């Protein structure tokens, strides 16, 4: 393989979405595939999460974003829609605890903001974009 060739783990794992929605959560291997697609360096850290932690965090995220399934970002016509979408995003992604435990997807080891938004994007790309500096640069270019 030459230096510029794409690796299989760089392929978008769209197959995860249907399985996760049907099951109600993302399994550990699926989480690792999403992380590898987004940032291969995060995969090692993800492997130390217990399956129960992954299930609980991803089940909670899926339940929060479920009402938005299939809605395009352009359908956020009102301030109330936008506020509700932001609330769902904040709840699903969570925050890194400074004085207490982290929450949402960010409570999983190896999941930072870019990987958390990639998880939501895999589950429903119409409603949840990947947010990171590379995606923003790519979109602007």
Per-residue tokens: 46: 């993800």
Highest mean pLDDT among 11-25, 81-95, 121-135: 11-25
> What pLDDT, on a 0 to 100 scale, did the predictor assign at position 133?
60
Average pLDDT score over residue span 85-94:
92
Mean pLDDT of the chain: 86
Q: What percent of the chain has pLDDT over 70?
A: 86
Closest CA to 120 of 72, 76, 74, 58: 58
Cα-to-chain-centroid distance, residue 29: 14
Residue 113 has pLDDT above 50, yes or no: yes
> What pLDDT, on a 0 to 100 scale, did the predictor assign at position 10?
81
Question: Where does the pLDDT of residue 16 fall: very low under 50, low under 70, confident under 90, or very high at 90 and above?
Answer: very high
> What pLDDT, on a 0 to 100 scale, did the predictor assign at position 136?
45
Where do the structural domains in the chain lie, given as residue ranges? 13-140
What is the residue-wise DSSP string for 57-81? HHHHHHHHHGGGTT--GGG--SHHH
Average pLDDT score over residue span 85-113:
87
Question: Where does the pLDDT of residue 73 fall: very low under 50, low under 70, confident under 90, or very high at 90 and above?
Answer: low
DSSP letter (8 states) at residue 95: -
> What pLDDT, on a 0 to 100 scale, did the predictor assign at position 75?
72
Point out the least confidently predicted range of 34-43, 92-101, 111-120: 92-101
> What pLDDT, on a 0 to 100 scale, did the predictor assign at position 1?
47
């Amino acid at each position: 393989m030459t230096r510029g060739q794409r690796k299989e783990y760089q392929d978008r794992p769209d197959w995860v979405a249907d399985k996760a929605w049907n099951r109600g959560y993302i399994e550990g291997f699926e989480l690792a595939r999403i992380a590898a697609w987004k940032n291969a360096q995060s995969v090692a850290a993800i492997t130390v999460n217990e399956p129960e932690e992954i299930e609980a965090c991803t089940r909670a995220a899926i339940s929060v974003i479920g009402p938005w399934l299939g809605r395009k970002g352009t359908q956020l016509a009102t301030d109330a829609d936008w506020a509700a979408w932001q609330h769902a995003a904040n709840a699903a992604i969570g925050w890194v605890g400074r004085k207490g435990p982290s929450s949402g997807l960010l409570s999983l080891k190896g999941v930072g903001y870019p990987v958390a938004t990639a998880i939501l994007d895999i589950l429903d790309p119409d409603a949840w974009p990947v947010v990171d500096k590379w995606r923003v640069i790519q979109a602007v270019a």
